[in-house]
Each structure stands twice: as C-alpha cells, then as structure tokens.
Amino acid sequence: MATDLGELLVPYMPTIRVPRTGDRVFKSECAFSYDSPESEGGLYVCMNSFLGFGREHVERHYRKTGQSVYMHLKRHVKEKATGAAGGAIPRRRNGKVFLDLELNRDFNGDGYEYEDEAKLVIFPDHFEIPLPNIEELPALVTIACDAVLNAPSPYKKQESDSWEEEIQVSRHARSLRQQENGVRIPPSGWKCAKCEMRENVWLNLTDGSVLCGKWFFDGSGGNGHALEHYKETNFPLAVKLDTINPDGADVYSFDEEETVLDPHISEHLLHFGIDMLQMQRTESGHHTDNHVQPRVSDWEVIQEAGLKLKPVYGSGYTGIKNLGNSCYLSTTMQVLFSIPEFQRAYVGNLQRIFDYSPLDPTQDFNTQMAKLGRGLLSGQYSKPPMKSELIEQVMKEEYKQQRGISPKMFKALVSKGHPEFSSNRQQDAHEFLLHLINLVERNSSGSENPSDVFRFLVEERVQCCQTQNVRYSQRVDYLMQLPVPLEAASNREELIAYESKRKEAEENMQPPPEPVRARIPFTACLQAFTEPENVPDFWSSALQAKSAGVKTSRFASFPEYMVVQIKKFTFGLDWVPKKLDVSVDIPDFLDLNRLRATGLQAGEEELPDLTPPIVIPEDTRDSTTNNSLESPEIDESSVMQLAEMGFPLEACRKAVYYTGNMGAEMAFNWIIAHMEEPDFAEPLAVPTYMEPDLPSPSLPSTSALDSQPPEESISILTSMGFPRHHTIQALKATNNNLERALDWIFTHPDCEDESEAMSDTADTEPNDNSFSNANAHSDSSLSPDQDLSSPRVRDGPGRYELFAFISHMGASTMSGHYVCHMKKEGRWLIYNDHKVCLSERPPKDLGYMYFYRRLSSC
C-alpha cells in the first residue's frame, strides 16, 4: 500500500511544498467565503499556496492553477453523551491537536466535544488519503502535512509582527535636549509652518516646530517639510500631533528612519504644554469594547440593554464578530452593504470578480469586498434555529444569537500599511469610512464606483471684509460635518444649575451630582453649519495684502446618500480628548434644498485672480540660492540597492531622481520602463526651470488657477510616461505635492482624455482640492472630471430620509464601542457585533454618524 501511495503521489510531488518561514497557512477560513473546518463541507488547503477554500470554491482554484493536491480539514462538533466526563479540553481523534482554531462561542463549553479530521484529496478524481499516514506516505509529503497542520494562524503572525510590537526605543529618547524657546502647542488648529498644510502635521520634539510629513498611501500627507527641517537642524524626533492619546503617540526618528518608542514622551510633550499625565488620569487607559464606560446609561440606552430584543435571521441580517475593537469597521460595513450600489458593484459582480481574482485573493480588495458582501447578504451565515430549539427558546424567553462572520481577512487587507487601522486599538468610524472610500476609489478604475453615491460638491464663498469682493470655488466632499453649538441647548438653565452644583461639590470634596446631558436642536446644528466663519491668514488679492476674510459653504450638488456626522469629539484646553455629552433631535426627514449654492450674484465683484507673493525668510535666502546651484538631492541608499541588481549606476541615479526619492521599488519600475531608451545609462541632466526670488511688479500677473507647477515636478512625472497635460492637472489638483500627484493620476485615469483638449496653461476649470485639507483661501477647487454634468456627481433634490445611524459609547474615539441601527422593510434593527435584533427603541438622538437616502421625486 505504501508503494501504491508513493507511486500515486509521484506526479504531484513537484507541486507539494513545505511551508517556509513567512508563508501564511490559511487553515481556518476560505479565501472566497466564510467556510471553515466547522462548515458542512470542511475546508481545503492548497498544498502549494496554502490558501484555504470551501467546497464551493476549491474546484475554481484547481481549474485556474492546475494544483491537484489539497488537505481537507473537518471539525465535527457534537454534544457530549449523558454522563460523559466534563473538562475544558475537548477530545480529538487520533490524539493530535492539528487544528489550531478558535473554538466557536456557541460550542465552547463542557457540553460539547470536537473531533478533528484531516486527509489529502487529489483532484480531479477526489482520491482521499486519511491523515496521519506516516508509514505509507513519502517523507516529503509527511513533513509538508505536519507543517501545515501545526502552522500558526496567519493572523496571529500578523499581530506578532505588527508595527506595535516591532517598534524599538529610540537611542535619542533618553538624551534628547529640548530648547527653552517658550513654544506652547494648542490642542487644535495645527498647520505646517512652511506650507500651511493642516493634515499629517508633526511636532519636532527639540524645538517645537510644527511641519508637514510625507505622503501616505491612503491619500493623506504633506510636502515633507518635517524631513527638510531635520536635514537643516539634525533634530531627530517628531511626534504626529493627531495621534496623541492617553497611551502615547506616534513618534518618528529621522535619524533612525523608522517609527520608534519614546519612554519619556509625556515629559517631552509637557515641555510644549501637552499634559499627557492629565490625559491618563482622565482616560481609563483600556482599549477594549467592554471596559470603558464613562456613563452606564449611555451603554444601556444605545445597546437597548434590559429589553428582550428578538433576533432576526436571513439575508441582510448577518452579524460580524468583534475581533477586539473592530466594531468601528463592522458598523461601517453593515451600513455600506445595505446600499444597493455597493451590493450591485461587489455582490452583483461576484462571479466575475472571483473568476478574475489574482492568484492570492486574500490580497485583492475587490475580492474581499465581494466576499464580505456575500457573507452579509446571502443569509448563509444567519440561519434560524431548528424548530425544537426555537420552542425551547420561547419557553425560556432566551433567544440564541447567531454566530456571525469573522472579518479577520478583510481587516488585515484594508488596514495593511495604515499605522492606526492595523493596530488593535479602537478607531474613529468616521475616519475609517473615508479610508474605505479612498480604497474603493483606487480599486474602481474602469468599473462602477459605488462610493460616488456619497460624492458631492461644496461651493465655498470667501469675502474680503474690507473691499467686500468675493471669490467662489468648489471642492469635493463625502459627508456633512455638523458642529454642536452648546450655547443653543434647550435645557440651558438646567445645565447652568448642574455646573454650579458640580463646582460646589468639587470645592467641598463631595460626590458630583448626576450629569445633565445637553439637548441640542438639530436646527441649531444646521444653522451653525451655515454661519460664516473667519478665514485664518486670508490674503486679499484686491488689497494685495493680508486682511480679514469670511467663508460660507453651500451645496453645489446633492448626493444620492447624505452622511451627516455630529462633531461630538474635541480637545479641551488641557489637551484632554473628550466627547461632548449631547443629545440631538435628529429628524427622520431632512430637507437641505435651502442650502443649495447660488454662485456669483448680481452686484457682487470678484476678487482679482492674483497669486500671493512668495515670502522667503531672510535667513534662508542665501541657503536657497546656494542649494539651487548644488547637485540634486538623491537617496543614495536606493541607488545602491538598484546598482547591486546590476543596473548602470547613472541609470540608477536617474531612476531615483525621476521618481522623487520614493524608494527603490518605484525607481525599479522606472528602470524597467526606460531601460530600452538610448540615453538610459547617460549621466543625469537636471531640467532647468525659472524660480524667481520674489515676484516682480513689472511682470504680468498670473492667477493661481493659471500658474504653472514647477517644471522639475512636471519633468519627473512625464519621465515616468504620463502625458504632460495630465501631470500638470495632477500637480495643480494636489498643491504641487509630487507623491499625491502621482496617486491622483492613478485614481483619475478618466481625466486624461478630457484634458487632451485643454491647453497646458489655459486651465479655466478650478482644480480638485482634498476634502480633508481644503483651506478656505485656496484658489484651487474642482477638476474637469468633477463637473456637474459628470456621472461622478449624481446631483438631485436635497430631500432625504434617515435609514441608518452609527452610535458610539465611550469617552473618546480611542475607546468604547460602536453599534449601528438600520431601517429595513419598515422596521428598525440593531446590529451589535454578531447580534442582529429588532430594535425596540432606536436611540436616534445619541448617534454619531447618520445616513440619509434621497427621497424619490413626487
């Protein structure tokens, strides 16, 4: 028999691999579904790629790859016989623990036992070889099977290799010398001191400089001024301002070129007025969904605790297991897959997406979105109990909850490379929604983009207070953020009385009184949204000087789905993050038509299209002049990596230069694309371009919309094969940020054809401006692909009906728990992790993000 098995496996031996260090073995979840060894058909693990497949999908993988040998894993769950010995350790067949799986909550007790079964299956004949079979199988096959059976979970490996546990203490942390320059950092309103970027800003821990970082893959970033500051000063450590929390902050060492730990971060931040110790006393420091409860009543009301909620089952009623602070992801995805456009884009195209998925579908965004959507909508993982079980539940008035699906594979993919979402900490559901929309945008090229249902245009009107001249611009946004005017509370007298009692109790060292929640009318939030706001550092082109300016915002278009975020989270003056304890009377029906933009009105005079003067500090003019004569800055480490591959040194230098020092991988792609050119190995010739020290009054004035990006940046992008007119458009749309411009080109391929008919300098349409960094005094706004007639903006009436909302419980976005309520078939439901039930009292007034759908025209 041993000879027979050996001969049978001989043709397949070259395809059977032993897992090496770094290989991920998926033996608990299918790549295309949520089938597992506990499913009826078990799980098939490819003995070459180590991917897992349910019975429904293993044939597809065999046809696509020709891989014939799979390990079939099956876990049998059954109740213990009456009188059987108890114990927490389940009995397993063959006496070997070869399925390192999480125990199912429904069967995790003394009343159940497990029998694990493994066998090799050879396709297409489905010939089965039971395991273990050491004596009869070839040695290589035995070793491979044993390695697969004992391989750790790929997610456990990811967690142990996560950035949180790899981070080392910086060698500069202990000896860091901070300057006594009196710098104090406010709790909000940060911007780069050199380019006024308001996102991805970093605080240098030596001198307190606030400067922008470099671009991130998720679309955020800056112009690299923090790195430039380090090169000028050698001040090594910087902290990202919006990451400071009771447990620490993201610290980067420019000298060590990596994220580091700073054990003295609280002292270093206190030097600039940021009291983390006070923050630690205010926060509990726990980051699990069930520990941080600033007020029990919030948790009870939002989760509808104390009510006997009836579970529901079937299509659209599948819960999502909590992986530990993953509820921000679960609630967001539940709402998104209740929207027909998302259902159609992923579940409707499921077979096409699966058939054309890459060899590793676990790393394909569209595949994992389709998998999640089908898991939530199929009803396959939300089946009602058997009739006998149901009768028993009704008699006991205890309803058994469904198991739900585990989003481990999905979370690992969408959070990959992101410093926040890849951690196990609680996150902001609002930020995750924008992050996911960014991923949808990136992966929808040439196909339907379901996130367009949220996309709308905002018209910003900026007025110079001295001349009364105005400027209109447009930008893209995906949600409406409503401020919370506490002064408009309907129970203001009650709040004043509570504050008085609280102070009195504090002075007398007595217990504080019962908190009073502010009740804010929704109309007051809407009014606060429409109020004019001051424009910081406004430069009036009419006066050609800084002046007072005000900005108002209106809707230039209305999306099909309007997301309304109540801005409940803020920072106190002591840098303690806090959540406003408010109740807002959210309407079921919303009419925003009165906020429709009107454009330039009769009698209004527009501000001249003049570029603000370029002010160069005196102490940097000499160095700027000298630097312009020096050789270009090139990352020599990337050059050497490429040179070691055998490419000519000068070609490597050109590749690194023309890809903007973005790393060896990007430069390698440039080499592959240009290695056939005749001047491939010629020395680098830096393009020349005009860079006047100061604008001359004798030169004709140019508007910000018509001004050319730096020729050097244009040359870098065109050298990568992109059309000149497309690169100019991308640079204008991203404030001349090279990395973000490159990303913009990839995410706006449809702009290339439209831009061919446009002159390089006659860009009369306003440019796209990042919705997260839209400065009120910026002249750039809307790109041609975002014209009102474009399908990317689905304009229509501004009348909406509420169909879902996400609520948060906890003191800040760094802790607590999220649940969502959705209205389906005329009834409200609550989605609380894996539990899906009919809602008895949906707490609409305590929500955080509200989702409205456009009402059909009457």
Contacts of 276 (CB under 8 A, 6+ apart): 244, 246, 248, 265, 266, 269, 270, 575
- Separation between Cα atoms, residue 387 and residue 364, nearest integer Å: 40
**CB-based contacts of 633: which residues, under 8 Å, 6+ apart?**
661
Q: Residues near 665 by Cβ (< 8 Å), separated by ≥ 6?
A: none
Q: Which of 317, 757, 794 is CA-nearest to residue 558? A: 794
Q: What are phi and psi of 370, to 5 degrees?
A: -65, -40
Tally the residues of the chain: 858
Residue 44 and residue 28: Cα distance in Å, rounded?
A: 10
CA 339 to chain centre: 19
Q: Are strands 43-46 and 52-54 parallel, antiparallel or unpaired?
A: antiparallel
In angstroms, the CA 117 to CA 44 distance is 12
Between CA 351 and CA 71 the distance in angstroms is 25
Tell the residue number behind the tokens 């991988």, with chain if given: 665
How far from 425 is each of 326, 327, 329, CA to CA, in Å?
8, 11, 12
Please state at what angle helix 636-643 crosses helix 664-674, rounded to 10 degrees: 50
CA distance 647 to 664: 12
CB of 413 within 8 A of CB of 831? Answer: no
Cα–Cα distance list, 802 to 445, 453, 853 (Å): 30, 15, 7
| Backbone torsions φ then ψ of 805, nearest 5 degrees | -155, 150
3-state DSSP assignment of residue 631:
coil
> Exactly one of 30, 327, 525, 751 is catalytic; which is it?
327
CA–CA dist 102, 95 (Å, integer): 18
Those residues whose C-beta lies under 8 Å from the C-beta of residue 466, and which sit 6 or more positions away, are 540, 542, 543, 547, 548
User: What is the distance between the alpha carbons of residues 478 and 243, in angstroms, rounded to a whole number?
Assistant: 23
Distance CA 239, CA 204 (A): 7
Residue with tokens 């946004």: 477
> In angstroms, rounded to a whole number, what is the distance separating the alpha carbons of residues 562 and 558?
8
> Helix (H) and strand (E) counts for the chain?
26, 29
Out of 418, 430, 726, 817, pick the active-site residue.
817
State the Cα–Cα distance between residues 341 and 325, nearest whole angstrom: 28
CB atoms within 10 A of CB 17: 16
DSSP-derived pairing of the beta strands 545-546 and 112-122: unpaired
Q: Which of 30, 74, 71 is nearest to 54 (CA)?
A: 30
Select from 82, 133, 77, 123 the least CA-distant residue to 104. 77
Long-range contacts of the stretch 135-139 (C-beta < 8 A, 24+): 135/2, 136/1, 136/2, 136/5, 136/6, 137/2, 137/5, 137/6, 137/9, 138/5, 138/6, 138/9, 138/13
Instruction: Establish whether 327 is a catalytic residue.
Output: yes
Catalytic residue set? 327, 817
